Amino acid sequence: MHTLPRRWFSLFAGALALLAAGSLLAQTPKKPLKIGFSQTGAESAWRTANTVSMKTEAEKRGIDLKFSDAQSKQENQIRAVRSFITQGVDVIVIAPIVETGWDPVLREAKRAHIPVILTDRTIKTEDESLYACFIGSDFYEEGRMAADWLAKFAAGKGNIVELQGTPGSAPANERRKAFADAITKYPGLKIIDSQSGDFRRAGGKEVMEAFLKKHSKAIDVVYAHNDDMALGAAQAIEEAGLKPGKDITIVTIDAINEAIQAIVDGRINCTVECSPLFGPKVYETAAKLVAGEKVPKKAYNKDELFDSSNAAAALPSRVY
Amino acid sequence: MKNPDSRPRRPVSPLVWLVAGLALLVLLNLTKNPAFLRVTWHDGHLFGTPIDILTQGSRTMLLALGMTLVIATGGVDLSVGSVCAITGAVCALTLQHGQSLAVTLAAAIGVGAAAGLANGLLVARLGIQPIVATLILMVAGRGIAQLVTDGQVLIIKHAAFEFLATGFVLGAPFAPLAVGALYLVSHAALRRTAAGLFIEAVGDNETASRFAGLAAARVKVLAYVFCGICAGLTGVLIAANIGAADGNRAGENAELDAIFAVVVGGTALTGGRFTLLGSLLGALLIQTLTTTMYNLGVAPAVAPVPKALVIVGVSLLQSEKFRALVARAWRREGRSGA
């Protein structure tokens, strides 16, 4: 009778050893990465392209993607992150709808040792260690690229009118500041007027109409904070009997399909890409995080520039 | 009230003060830019800032026309902006499928009328508060528009369609002419018949008008249907203006501009009396104000402040109590001086 507990013990130990060996064996073939992605919603073409990029890239890399559409509500995002934690994903990716209110749920993720990647927009938090890194678009760099392209194209001379985005929004602020900073190097380039077209096509058109009356022939260049306003401005210029792209140079940001087509047609001169294709960069970073490598706290998606030299070639491969 | 004049004075039309505000605004523009009112002949049509104001303002004018009748019945229609987005999207689809302009316009009017009918039935038959009833379509309508366009901006390339918003007839812009004609027709239909009186009666006292034998609910429904049709046609103008249907942003906040135009034009939100000319001028005031900000070069971040100040100013001018206060202060000053 005394032997029984000992036998039980050896049996137990044997089973444990087997289990350990089994789990070691099971880990040798690489387990697919499990990633939870909480998207803001589907409010614009840019956002839709962003979602498609995340999904197709996950499929290509054999990543098990748990996708959650928050329909523009933060509480849905918080619920999604909680469910990602209980599902035991390897990495959580969030495109935060608002900046605040993230600390509690991010603390839960941290306790569960799941790294969090923020994309597209940042958050406000006291404790920066709650998220691993931020991957987004560099609005400032976009504005700088536009200014540098213009300086070269216009040989550093010209009167510019600026069509701003929605006042107070991050892309409008950054693109405005970057452009203004960059053209100080070229005393011949002057911003003679600047108004908001609210990122809208109708807004861009209306403001441009007013500018054309106010400054009549003095305008050489339009710098628009997004393509929609640039396309509206091009229409206003046409309706005033001038040729956009020839009589008035148009420089813009976003690189939606329609704008690239307009470059091919010669109605717009240059557009700087604000790429929604975050998939590759996000998953590379996620793989690094899982492997325990260090990643930079802030990383930007690489943006390209399109003008008459490369627009036609780029057009067929564009997805948004 | 004791009036030094024994003869009751005829109340000054609120339109006088609206026109005064408009004139002040134009004067302000002229001091900064003497060419503000200049209209030239360019490319075979009229060209200049006043033409821009009329063309850009024609959309708010059209919305305000329908909104006037709804507000006169004591209601309000918050859904007009979203209805614009839906009709724009529907127009883009019908044109893309190769339908004629007539079919497209009929579709736009149909969609607008259906939206108005839905609003009207909710308000008049089910007795839901107008703000709530039309809020439903205001929110849901954006979703419907997005659904129709599949979340994309649909591009419209159709010369005849774009002509509606950007074309010229004998050198004069078509859109404001068409909207002006609609105002004249509406005015005749409302004031030469009893229809206008019916609307005012329902807005003044619905119960009393019902006891007087008026089909009050039907009058209300018809007002909403008319407002829906106006919104549908505005959607056409918005889409035609930029040659694209944007389900997300077309007609954004347009309902607020329309309501403001109606109220500043002298139609009370409580219902009853209405004036179409006032709404027309109110819409003109809003557009002039927007153009003024561009003309004066006010920084867009602070532009809402001067805009609000002008609106407060015009409202104060229109307020009888405020005018009485000023007049009394003026008289006292004059007496002490003498």
For residues A255 and A281, state if they share a domain: no
Task: List pLDDT tens digits, range B84-118.
Answer: 999 999 999 999 999 999 999 999 999 999 999 99
For residue A156, the model assigns a pLDDT of 86
Summarize pLDDT for B118-129 with one digit per residue, the tens: 999 999 999 999
Beta carbons within 10 angstroms of residue A167's beta carbon: 17
Q: How far apart are CA A263 and CA A270, in angstroms?
A: 7
Mean pLDDT of A60-73: 89
The pLDDT tens digits of the residues spanning A257-315 come to 889 999 999 999 999 998 888 999 999 999 999 999 999 999 988 888 999 999 888 88
- Residue that wins the pLDDT comparison between A200 and A8: A200
Rounded average pLDDT over B318-325: 86
Cα B338 from Cα B336, distance rounded (Å): 6
Q: Which residues of B touch A213 (CB under 8 A)?
A: 35, 48-49, 52
CB contact under 8 A, A167 and B301: yes
Residue A171 sits in the same domain as residue A293: no
Q: Which of A168, A205, A214 sits opposite B241 (nearest CB)?
A: A205
Confidence at B2, pLDDT banded by 50, 70, 90: very low
Longest pairwise C-alpha distance within chain B: 78
A308 within a domain of the structure (yes/no): no
Q: Are residues A169 and A209 in the same domain?
A: yes
Question: Is the domain of A176 the same as that of A129?
Answer: no
The count of domains in chain A is 2
Any domain includes A50: yes
Spell A178-197 as b/e; 16+ CB within 10 A means b. bbeebbeebeebeebbbbbb
pLDDT at B43: 84
Of the candidates A271, A320, A274, A318, the residue with the CA atom closest to the CA atom of residue A300: A274
Contacts of B241 in chain A (CB under 8 A): 202, 205
Please tell me the predicted confidence (pLDDT) of residue B284.
96
What domains, with CATH codes, occur in chain B? 14-331 (1.10.3470)
Whether A201 has its CB under 8 Å from any CB of chain B: the answer is yes
Q: How confident is the model at residue B11 (pLDDT cuts 50, 70, 90)?
A: low
pLDDT at A97 > cutoff 90: no
Q: Nearest-CA neighbor of B179 among B84, B293, B62, B282?
A: B62
Cβ contacts of A43 on chain B, cutoff 8 Å: 151, 248
Same domain for A296 and A188?
no
Residue A6's pLDDT is: 63
CA angle B261, B76, A73 (to 5 degrees): 100
Q: Within a domain: residue A132? A: yes
Structural domain containing residue A87: 34-137+276-301
A131 and A54 fall within a common domain: yes
Q: Is the Cβ of A42 closer than 8 Å to some Cβ of chain B?
A: yes
| DSSP codes joined into one string, A164-233 | E-STT-HHHHHHHHHHHHHHTT-TTEEEEEEEE-TT-HHHHHHHHHHHHHHHGGG--EEEESSHHHHHHH
Whether A119 is in a domain gets the answer yes
Check whether B14 has a pLDDT greater than 60: yes
Query: Model confidence over A181-202: pLDDT tens digits?
Result: 999 999 999 999 999 998 899 9
Listed range (A246-250, B146-150, B212-216) with the worst mean pLDDT: B146-150
Residue A165 inside a domain? The answer is yes
Q: Closest Cα of chain A to B293: distance in Å?
A: 9
CB contact under 8 A, A196 and B303: yes
Tell me if A315 is assigned to some domain.
no
pLDDT of residue A7: 64
Using the Cα atoms of residue B140, residue B141, residue B146 and residue B147 in order, give the sign of their dihedral.
positive
Nearest residue in chain B measured CA to CA from A229: B242
Query: In this structure, are residues A223 and B272 in contact, taking their beta carbons and an 8 Å threshold?
Result: no
Sheet with strand A34-39: strands edge to edge: A64-69, A34-39, A91-94, A116-119, A133-136, A298-300
A28 pLDDT higher than 90: no
Q: Which residue has the higher pLDDT, A234 or B42?
A: A234
Q: What percent of chain A has pLDDT over 90?
A: 62
Residue B338 predicted with pLDDT over 80: no
Nearest CA to CA, how far is A239 from chain B (Å)? 8
**Of A292, A252, A283, nearest to A119 (Cα)?**
A283
Q: What pTM was estimated for this model as a whole?
A: 0.82
| Together in a domain, A43 and A133 | yes
- Test B301 with A168 for CB contact under 8 angstroms: yes
Residue A10's H or E segment, with its range, is: helix A3-27
pLDDT score for A13: 62
Same domain for A184 and A293: no
Question: Mind listing the pLDDT tens digit for each residue in A286-301?
Answer: 999 999 999 999 998 8
Q: Across the interface, which of A44, A200, A210 has its CB nearest the CB of B295?
A: A210
Q: Is A200 on the interface with B (CB under 8 A)?
A: yes
pLDDT single digits (tens) B222-264: 999 999 999 999 999 999 999 999 888 899 889 999 999 999 9
Q: Both tokens of residue B76? A: 């309000």
| Ranges of H-type helices in B11-120 | 14-32, 49-72, 80-96, 101-120
Residue A155 inside a domain? The answer is yes
* pLDDT > 50? residue B293: yes
A178 located within any domain? yes
Q: What is the pLDDT of residue B103?
A: 96
> Tell me, what CATH number does A254's domain have?
3.40.50.2300
Is the domain of A94 the same as that of A172? no
A167: nearest CB among B155, B243, B300: B300
Here the ipTM equals 0.85
Determine how many CB atoms are found less than 10 A away from the CB of residue A309. 10
pLDDT at position B152: 80
- Cβ of B56 and A209 within 8 Å? yes
Selection from A26-35, A93-102, B225-234 with the highest mean pLDDT = B225-234
Residues A69 and A90 in one domain: yes
* Percentage above 70 pLDDT, chain B: 95
Q: Where are the alpha helices (DSSP H) in B265-338?
A: 276-296, 304-318, 320-337
d(CA A302, CA A311): 17
Asked whether residue A198 falls in the same domain as residue A281, the answer is no
Residues A122 and A70 reside in one and the same domain = yes
Strands A249-254 and A305-307: unpaired
pLDDT digits (tens, 9 = 90+) for B182-204: 999 999 999 999 999 999 999 99
